[in-house]
A and B are shown apart, each in its own frame.
Chain A
Amino acid sequence: MKLTDCFWERKNLGENVCEVTVEDGESFDSEPFLDLNSRYTYQVIKLPTGNISFNTGLARLGYFHIETQLNWVKKVRDFDFCNELIVRLEDNLSFKDVISEEDLSLLLNKIDDDMFSTDRIALDPQYGLAIGRIRYCNWIWSEFTNKSSYISFICIEGTPVGFLMLKVNGRKGYGLLGGIFKQYQNMGLGVLTASSFLLYIRVRALDVSSYYTTTSSNNPTNFRIYNKLGFDLSSMTYVYIKHVKPAE
Chain B
Amino acid sequence: MTEVKCKTNENNNLKKQGFYNQIKSGKIFKRLDVLVFLIALMIIGGIFLGFYLINNKKPQCTGVEFVYNDEVVFTFNFDGTYQDNGFTGTVKIDKRTDNVYLLDFYFNQSQTEYTIVKINLEESYADVLYATCSYTQDCSKSPAIRNGEGAIICVPYNFKILPINGNRPLVTG
Tell me, yes or no, whether A binds B.
no
